[in-house]
Structure 1
Amino acid sequence: MHRNDRLALQRIDRLVGDRLPPALYRETVPLHIAAWEVPGEPVPFGDAVGQTYTPVSEGTAWGRPWGTVWFHVTGRVPASWRGIDGTRPEMVVDLGFDGSGPGFQAEALVFRPDGSIVKAVEPRNAFVPVDGDEIDLWIEAAGNPSVAGTFTFAATPLGDRRTAGDDPIYRLRRMELGLLDETVWELQQDIWTLRGLVDQLEPNRTRHARVLAALGRAVDAVDPDDVAGTAQAGRDELRAALSAPASASAHQLTAVGHAHIDSAWLWPIRETVRKVARTFSNVLDLMRTEDDFVFAASSAQQYAWMKEYYPELFERMRDAVAAGRFAPVGGMWVESDTNMPGSEALARQFVEGKRFFLEEFGIEPLEVWLPDSFGYSAALPQIITAAGSRWFLTQKISWNETNRMPHHTFLWEGIDGTRVFTHFPPVDTYNSELSAAELALAERQFAEKADASHSLVPFGWGDGGGGPTREMIAAARRTADLEGSPRVRLGSPAQFFSEAEAEYAEPPVWSGELYLEYHRGTYSAQARTKRGNRRSEHLLRAAELWATLDTVRTGATYPAERLRSLWQTVLLNQFHDILPGTSIAWVHQEAEATYARVADELQEIIDTAVRSLTGAGDRALTANAAPIALAGAPALGVSVAASVLPVTPERDGDGWTFRHERFHWAIDARGLVVGAVDLTTGRELIDPAFPGGVLQLFRDTPREWDAWNIDAEDGALGTTLTDVIEVVADGADLVVRRRFGSSHVEQRYRVDPFSGALEVEMHLDWRERQKMLKIAFPLRVRAERTESEIQFGHLSRSVHANTTWDAAKFETVAHRWIRIVEGDYGVAVANDSMYGHDVQRAPGTDGGARTVARVTLVRAPLFPDPEADQGAHEFRLSVLPSASVAAAIGEGLRLNLPPVTVHGADEVAPLLTVSEPGVIVEAVKLADDGSGDVVVRLYEALGSARTAQIEAGFPVAAVTQTDLLEREIEPTALRETTGTVRLDLAPFQLVTLRLAR
């Protein structure tokens, strides 16, 4: 930059930084302030106003961590302020804000005496409008701990109520009445827009020189001793520069008001409820003065909280939705993780989310809005379409640390071939200020600029930072048609997608998962939270099945509302900072307690239904809720318990052997698997020099984002744990006890008498820090690929690292199983609660004939929860040789949805019988509309077209195919409905059937 330009910019910045802010308010007057500290958890307005308040002044310390202080503020607008043109009174509040971002420190919500909400106060939105001459306001201030400096990833006690302390952490700086000078404020916005533009313009171009000169003239025109009297003169000098129109080829941005609010993260769920109220009240206040401003908010859960806790605010939201100003988007219950929720759970995110929006507003969002989740399942396009949605938006893939996504607007193709029109905003943020730098970045990065001209920019402070501000709206107005800038238009997501889709008729196609090359540690952090999720998903499946069967067979009342409430609880905990394990201690402590309550309630529903079905009696019966026969029990029914002899470990020299008719498993004196003979093929799958079942401890010190990330470099810094305390036989189990570091583990080996799979059950007391524990199975298999279970199917991934895209997938996600594939031979590794896996070619000189499959068990990050994963854990996994995909599915179901022994009088015939083992019934329930119809969700699971017949174990009047919301659609798979139901399924096709009774 030329020296003269640099000096000119210094003069401009000095005006903006030092001269204009003191002149923003022509006068200020103090207000009377009184305070009451809530002794425990937050209380509603009605409880707060009746308390005894103590006078306080500016400078008073307030707010213990996570505490709440109510301020009562009274005063009067001076008579001398009336009738002064270009001014208006407003209250100005500084709760003691610091340098951390908005949304990550103190916040407040302002009420009128009647309990109605005015708006919120945050660091970048610190004013409160004043109506009338009398000020009488109640302010609920939240002492949320500041995270200034926290993102250095140091352990902090503030995320746990037990260690957060009780001393005040804020000091009230300002709570007074000010007379806003509107002309000075407008001048600030003019200069901010043009000053930012200067930095984006080429220094030697005419436009750069003219804007810089105009800014210089504005500085000259504003008298530092009389800013109020000369601010308009400064604006006049900028008028021509602001009026110059954009070029005909300028990029077009649709600016959508937005405030991404994590449903929990560095704060608990209860604080999210208040963050949402603060943000939504700000938005409604902004809509009073900005007619074309549209705000988009996702997550039906957050709307439901407003309905429950802030009904007055919710009714105003309802009016804004009806007016098209407040746009529900996403159509999901929360912005969930999409890697780890099970098939039915991810479907229910859409069912519950869309149903709420339809019931409350009569609106069905068509945009799936997931800007911040940590990668996107290849099953999602089909689920989106099955839910009746059309478009998908995310931002997070811009965080890739290795490869840049080649597209911003494209068709995303899922595992079944479904394609969804998808947009990545090239602005690379979902919290834009609409700055010149952000707008220029969007145009510069837009990959499809040769064929398309349109992108979306979400703007507003997120996470309780207050959402869009009047300053951002001012920026949008000034860049609507400004030379040197992309054009900015305020609009809605639906408006953008409709126009972008029409403009770009043949976008490129991206097939398969949208893998985030970052945040891979989210598959494993907070293992107890993940276990709770997995258990809840399968209990929900069983509860719906048995309750449906009970209703159909006995006429029992179906517990629809209980099940819906439990589903919503589990769906909330699948939010993308809860299930991934990336929240503070408070959040995960609460999640674990919630999962325990959910399990108890679901077990009670299951027990009640099964007792009703079987009747009173002492016969030993087996109830199998799985969609395939397990342990000798038919699918989806109750049968006489099968009798089978266990496979017991036999002493064999220094070790032990399990002898099954299909496989022999050898375990040595160290408790390691040194032999795995597949008797069906004669193959030995274990080289004794590279035993299986071995625990490996790795350093886990990522460069940043502790709970989120695993670095590839740490994968080379592992220690194999072979020291053993004892190996003893205990009935059908072989028990291995080890100690390492400050931790100890008990491994129990057993062989399933039906499948012959080797099962490893682990009881771990984990006391390490910044370490990661994996269990490894080196196999004498030359695998080119693995198959990993995802929602409604499975995904193939390369084992090699030929390209940067392959190499970046050094830790991947799977649900209940992975399958290591060599030609037509496969070995399945199944689990009951883990998600993180890695499969690699073994190093060495064996010609690549060895593949190491590892499952990540537990981690120990320090941030944001310094006690993450400490304590007791339980894991169960199994290894099954000669495993087809169908066998791998069965093994995953055996570990997660095992048949249970019950006692009763009668067997119970299956509710459904499916002729094809490759067709999996995912859910059986009664219809949401209360009709009593039975709804069955199923999918083709093996990846090839097939025909299946379904027979119902109850009289059926009619069969229709529906979408996920149980609305009838044109049949794509349903071919015959008289007598036996016939389905012709495409690979991985998801189908929902409604069976009228």
Structure 2
Amino acid sequence: MSRVLRNLFYCVLVACAPAGLAAPISSSHPAETRNQFYMIGHAHIDPVWRWTKDEGFAEVLATFRSALDRMKTYPDVAMVVSSAQFYEWVLQADPQMFAEIQQRVQEGRWNLVSGWWVESDANCPGGESHVRQGLYGQHFFLKHFGRTATIGFAPDTFGHPWSLPQILCKQGLDCYFYLRPELNEKPDLPAPVFQWQGQDGSRLLTFSIIEAYTAKEGDIESRLQSSNQRFKTFLPKAHQLAVFYGVGNHGGGPTIATIEEIESLKRDAYPTIRFSSLETYVNDFRKQQIDVPTVNEELQHHARGCYSACSQVKLWNRTAETNLLVAEKAASLASLYCRAPYPAETLRTAWKKVLFNQFHDILAGSSIEQAYEDSRNDYGYSSSVAREVLTYALNALTSQVATLDARYPASTPFLVFNPCSWPVQAPIEIEMQRLDRRIAPTLRDAKGEPIPYQQLPTAAVKVNSRIRLVFQADLPPLGYQVFRLDFAKAADVSATKRVIASTSCLENDWVRISFDTLKGTISSYFDKKSGRELLTGPAGCGVVLNDWDDTWGHRIVSYDQEIGRFGNADIRLVEPGPERGRIIINSRFGSSTLAQEFSLSAHSSEMTCRVTLDWKEKARVFQLSFPTALKDGQLTYSIPYGFIQRPMSGEEEPGGNWLDLSGKDGKGAFGLALINNFACGYQVKQGDMRITVLHSTAWSHHNPEVVHPTDHVRWMEQGLHEFTYLLMPHDGDWRGACVSQRAIAYLQSPQVLLTTQHEGDWPLMQSLVSFPSEAAGITSIKMAEDEKSLIFRCVEMNGTSCSVPLSLSPASVGSTVDLQPAEIKTIRVPLKPGEPIRTVNLLEQ
């Protein structure tokens, strides 16, 4: 919204305020106010936005130099700067400047704020990424400045999830400053200061930055008046106000002209102005002991288009996050049980690249096209590192297992590792060299029992020397099972056909899923056990809508102007069973094509889909629609380390990798969960669950600028997009169905490692860590930053209290973890025998 419209909205809101509260401050009679104005020097720095990272690097150095020079000239001026990444750049590029900053920090004139690696997007990253932002940021500050930040600071972040207060509190932050959503975007929250209560009950004193996080020459008096008006209208007992000044976005900070203007206003009309640090302001505000309202909800919405802008960066981020978490778990267990070296610095560097690219203008998709070349490379680096770490760790673990079995000399063993803290049943694909090309080998589990499988085409076309197959594996929590292909005995191929697959239907013992062969959509999802139809219309349908706003979607509440749908389909049967049926549906819209590969296992009611979209449309939105029978159901979204229930309003909403609709009919309670590997934006109305896959504006287009046909701009999202999703029907509600655990397992899938026959002390199947719970899970295992303990992140996922025994089976170490609803608890397990297991905060302290 433009500043004119925002100010008009504010004037209307103030005019509607209770009588006696809306009298504005007059610049001709400024002494009428008792308010004290704390002028906070600030330079909002976007290291990437309408420029790339190399320019952002130079911007940081120039801004820091300018701020230090101003502080020399004006001894009362103080400065706040967030983002540990910026300080690391300065440390590496200009150690002398860094020493000057250290001196100013010690003086209290340069405030370290946020404690995070960068000012991250808060909606799209996973919960563990928010933890690592603070862990690495605060540890950097502690190492180089002897202290950590106490003030959370996210002035330009586009929304704040309900789970955030707990995370910030457990990172040593005792208050929070934010700007967005502004008053015009969230008019039900007019108080400029409030206690923000998180999902778990954590409370954080929170300050709404009024109007802007910067002010240049000529803007100062306007900022004073806006701040005074907001406080006088909605928090009249508070008389201490913070106003941020300085040049921002491309850096800059306090200028001589702005400082002189503030000095002039202080001498002339505003004697209560003072230059101040932000820490001084917060401390003085607390001394007032004012009762402020409590807000027990998420702080949304701003720029709803950013939930789906540049969908590829969302996929890169979620992929890299997942890869690092799985690699860390395996490396931690290999270090604990096998004394394998833990690559702490390697993983830390990889994480920092992920965290940097979670900066709000990168992950939100609002930067220029060239910036995503750097982002792609950074994410690729992190995923590559994670893969290498995982391979070494799994080899170390596998070396302990007795894979040698004299009964099966002509066999190839392979280990399947489950990175989740609960048992997992999942289809496993494996390809290897054939020891004998003449027969179909027998697949055996850890007990030596034959298990059914389905042979698949090899990755390279028709390579007879190799074999590829899919089978169902039962895996212990945070453990493994060793399987083997026995080439000495041919498999029994007379297995009962448990999946019926054709071009119009996929069916097993649980469900029958029918497809419309003309539209290329799911026409029916029938639960055979309950006799219930789950859909009310064509599902998996590609819907095209008008993308009439800018990249940010500043004026978007929902994408609701439908233009058309993909159709003119052709369907091909790819896998007829018996373990898995798979069909590919190709459909078209305009110049774009959509290929959906639907797969149904013999062992589950879930259906997975791999999507390949070749997008050629401009100024259009692409959604996938799933109209369910749950028009009156309860809608639940995942958020970073939490969940939230929202109404089915049809508005564009942020979410993690799952959402669920649960309800009841005459046959009982049931639901349908939609899980995916990339999306952050969703719309749900009258039971129709939609993933907003992408929207294709011109790159980094911001209102009020208008894009004309003659401008020859480049458009976002053009070309190939690949992603996956899963439909999960269930009885009962999402809690009883363990949807949150299933969504994690969907991302952190079992890992396969081919091995050899060798001796070892470990059995062919075991759990390495036990944490039995349907309501909680171990989401992360890592080496502590001091490398003296392992860190276990335990998260309650269902909103219920629970006590869960934690035991490390081969190490004979155990403890009980008590979790309150939605609690994130960090457990420190010392590597040195005899030292106690204890609970620490998110900084591992």
Instruction: Give the TM-score taking structure 1 as reference length.
Output: 0.68
Q: Matched residues in 1 for 2:251 and 2:630: separation? A: 53
**Of 858, 864, 872, which residue of structure 1 is paired with 2:700?**
864
- Once the 2 structures are TM-superposed, how far is the Cα of residue 345 of structure 1 from its aligned partner? 0.6
- Once the 2 structures are TM-superposed, how far is the Cα of residue 552 of structure 1 from its aligned partner? 1.0
- Once the 2 structures are TM-superposed, how far is the Cα of residue 586 of structure 1 from its aligned partner? 1.1
Q: Matched residues in 2 for 1:812 and 1:393: separation? A: 23
Q: How does 1:290-369 map to 2 (within 5 A)?
A: 290-369=74-153
Query: Letter of the aligned partner of 2:829 in structure 1?
Result: L
Q: Matched residues in 2 for 1:839 and 1:642: separation? A: 45
Q: Matched residues in 2 for 1:819 and 1:358: separation? A: 41
Partner deviation per Cα, 1:309-360 (whole Å, 9 max, x = no partner): 2222222212222222211111000000000110111110000110000001
Q: Aligned pair in 2 of structure 1 residues 660, 504: CA closer, same or farther (>3 Å)?
A: farther
2:802 pairs with 1:946: yes
Percent identical pairs in the alignment equals 27
- Once the 2 structures are TM-superposed, how far is the Cα of residue 613 of structure 1 from its aligned partner? 1.1
Which 4+ stretches in 1 moved above 6 angstroms?
A: 642-647
What SS does the aligned partner of 2:738 have?
Answer: helix
- Counterpart in 1 of 2:823? 989
- Once the 2 structures are TM-superposed, how far is the Cα of residue 625 of structure 1 from its aligned partner? 1.1
- Once the 2 structures are TM-superposed, how far is the Cα of residue 481 of structure 1 from its aligned partner? 6.7
What SS does the aligned partner of 2:105 have?
Answer: helix
Q: Matched residues in 1 for 2:208 and 2:618: separation? A: 37
- Once the 2 structures are TM-superposed, how far is the Cα of residue 900 of structure 1 from its aligned partner? 2.4
Q: Matched residues in 2 for 1:853 and 1:431: separation? A: 42
Q: Is the 8 A contact 2:38 2:243 kept in 1?
A: yes
Q: Matched residues in 2 for 1:646 and 1:817: separation? A: 32
What SS does the aligned partner of 2:767 have?
Answer: coil
Q: Matched residues in 1 for 2:481 and 2:215: separation? A: 56
- Counterpart in 2 of 1:695? 542
What SS does the aligned partner of 1:253 have?
Answer: strand
**Of 597, 601, 605, which residue of structure 2 is paired with 1:756?**
605
Q: How does 1:797-816 map to 2 (within 5 A)?
A: 797-800=646-649, 810-816=651-657
Q: Matched residues in 2 for 1:857 and 1:252: separation? A: 48
- Counterpart in 2 of 1:875? 723
Q: Matched residues in 2 for 1:656 and 1:709: separation? A: 42
What SS does the aligned partner of 2:361 have?
Answer: coil
- Counterpart in 2 of 1:681? 530
Q: Matched residues in 2 for 1:758 and 1:685: separation? A: 13
Query: Letter of the aligned partner of 1:994 in structure 2?
Result: R
Q: Aligned pair in 2 of structure 1 residues 614, 578: CA closer, same or farther (>3 Å)?
A: same
Q: Matched residues in 2 for 1:713 and 1:387: separation? A: 35
- Once the 2 structures are TM-superposed, how far is the Cα of residue 534 of structure 1 from its aligned partner? 0.3
Q: Matched residues in 2 for 1:406 and 1:508: separation? A: 10
Q: Aligned pair in 2 of structure 1 residues 774, 317: CA closer, same or farther (>3 Å)?
A: same
Q: Matched residues in 1 for 2:684 and 2:212: separation? A: 32
Q: Matched residues in 2 for 1:379 and 1:588: separation? A: 28
- Counterpart in 1 of 2:198? 414
- Counterpart in 2 of 1:97? none
- Counterpart in 1 of 2:249? 463
Structure 1 stretches of 5 or more lacking a match? 1-199, 209-244, 801-808, 842-850, 957-978
**Greater RCO, 1 or 2 (C-alpha within 8 Å, sep 6+):** 2
- Counterpart in 1 of 2:452? none
Q: Matched residues in 2 for 1:834 and 1:943: separation? A: 24
Q: Aligned pair in 2 of structure 1 residues 638, 281: CA closer, same or farther (>3 Å)?
A: same
Q: Matched residues in 1 for 2:496 and 2:111: separation? A: 61
- Counterpart in 2 of 1:619? 413
2:689 pairs with 1:832: no
Q: Is the 8 A contact 2:498 2:509 kept in 1?
A: no
What SS does the aligned partner of 2:637 have?
Answer: strand
What SS does the aligned partner of 1:578 have?
Answer: helix
2:796 pairs with 1:918: no
- Counterpart in 1 of 2:181? 397
What SS does the aligned partner of 1:558 have?
Answer: coil
Q: Matched residues in 2 for 1:486 and 1:380: separation? A: 38
What SS does the aligned partner of 1:912 have?
Answer: coil
Q: Aligned pair in 2 of structure 1 residues 737, 710: CA closer, same or farther (>3 Å)?
A: farther
2:516 pairs with 1:668: yes
Q: How does 1:529-544 map to 2 (within 5 A)?
A: 529-544=313-328
Q: Matched residues in 1 for 2:521 and 2:224: separation? A: 58
Q: Matched residues in 2 for 1:917 and 1:713: separation? A: 35
**Of 208, 219, 225, which residue of structure 2 is paired with 1:440?**
225
Q: How many equivalent pairs are there?
A: 711
- Counterpart in 1 of 2:628? 779
Q: Is the 8 A contact 1:678 1:882 kept in 2?
A: no
Q: How does 1:843-862 map to 2 (within 5 A)?
A: 851-862=687-698
What SS does the aligned partner of 1:566 have?
Answer: helix
Q: Is the 8 A contact 1:413 1:419 kept in 2?
A: yes
- Counterpart in 1 of 2:644? 795
Q: Matched residues in 1 for 2:35 and 2:624: separation? A: 51
- Once the 2 structures are TM-superposed, how far is the Cα of residue 791 of structure 1 from its aligned partner? 1.7
- Once the 2 structures are TM-superposed, how far is the Cα of residue 510 of structure 1 from its aligned partner? 0.8
2:276 pairs with 1:491: yes
2:300 pairs with 1:515: yes
Query: Letter of the aligned partner of 2:46 in structure 1?
Result: D
- Once the 2 structures are TM-superposed, how far is the Cα of residue 387 of structure 1 from its aligned partner? 0.8
2:755 pairs with 1:898: no
Q: Matched residues in 2 for 1:810 and 1:325: separation? A: 44
Query: Letter of the aligned partner of 2:97 in structure 1?
Result: L
Q: Is the 8 A contact 1:286 1:469 kept in 2?
A: yes
Partner deviation per Cα, 1:920-963 (whole Å, 9 max, x = no partner): 111101111021x111011110011122111123436xxxxxxx
- Once the 2 structures are TM-superposed, how far is the Cα of residue 982 of structure 1 from its aligned partner? 1.6
Q: Is the 8 A contact 2:42 2:248 kept in 1?
A: yes
- Counterpart in 2 of 1:629? 423
What SS does the aligned partner of 1:626 have?
Answer: coil
Partner deviation per Cα, 1:515-572 (whole Å, 9 max, x = no partner): 12x3111111111111110001111101111111111111111000000000100000
- Once the 2 structures are TM-superposed, how far is the Cα of residue 769 of structure 1 from its aligned partner? 1.0
Q: Matched residues in 1 for 2:304 and 2:566: separation? A: 24
- Once the 2 structures are TM-superposed, how far is the Cα of residue 289 of structure 1 from its aligned partner? 1.4
Q: Aligned pair in 2 of structure 1 residues 649, 992: CA closer, same or farther (>3 Å)?
A: same
Q: Aligned pair in 2 of structure 1 residues 289, 647: CA closer, same or farther (>3 Å)?
A: farther
- Counterpart in 1 of 2:843? none
- Once the 2 structures are TM-superposed, how far is the Cα of residue 646 of structure 1 from its aligned partner? 9.1
Q: Is the 8 A contact 1:411 1:509 kept in 2?
A: yes
Q: Aligned pair in 2 of structure 1 residues 482, 786: CA closer, same or farther (>3 Å)?
A: farther
Q: Aligned pair in 2 of structure 1 residues 302, 754: CA closer, same or farther (>3 Å)?
A: farther
What SS does the aligned partner of 2:749 have?
Answer: coil
Q: Aligned pair in 2 of structure 1 residues 403, 863: CA closer, same or farther (>3 Å)?
A: farther
Q: Aligned pair in 2 of structure 1 residues 908, 481: CA closer, same or farther (>3 Å)?
A: farther
Q: Matched residues in 1 for 2:25 and 2:174: separation? A: 38
Q: Matched residues in 2 for 1:311 and 1:767: separation? A: 49
Q: Matched residues in 2 for 1:873 and 1:486: separation? A: 59
- Counterpart in 1 of 2:482? 640
- Counterpart in 2 of 1:723? 568
What SS does the aligned partner of 2:799 have?
Answer: coil
- Once the 2 structures are TM-superposed, how far is the Cα of residue 397 of structure 1 from its aligned partner? 1.5
- Counterpart in 1 of 2:837? none
Query: Letter of the aligned partner of 2:475 in structure 1?
Result: A
What SS does the aligned partner of 1:776 have?
Answer: strand
Structure 1 vs Structure 2 CA RMSD: 2.5
Q: Matched residues in 1 for 2:26 and 2:53: separation? A: 47
What SS does the aligned partner of 1:857 have?
Answer: strand
Q: Is the 8 A contact 1:520 1:708 kept in 2?
A: yes
Q: Is the 8 A contact 1:432 1:458 kept in 2?
A: no
- Counterpart in 2 of 1:474? 260
What SS does the aligned partner of 1:479 have?
Answer: helix
**Of 784, 798, 802, which residue of structure 2 is paired with 1:927?**
784
- Counterpart in 1 of 2:464? none
Structure 2 stretches of 5 or more lacking a match? 1-23, 404-411, 427-473, 486-494, 702-713, 832-845
Q: Matched residues in 2 for 1:710 and 1:551: separation? A: 51
What SS does the aligned partner of 1:772 have?
Answer: strand
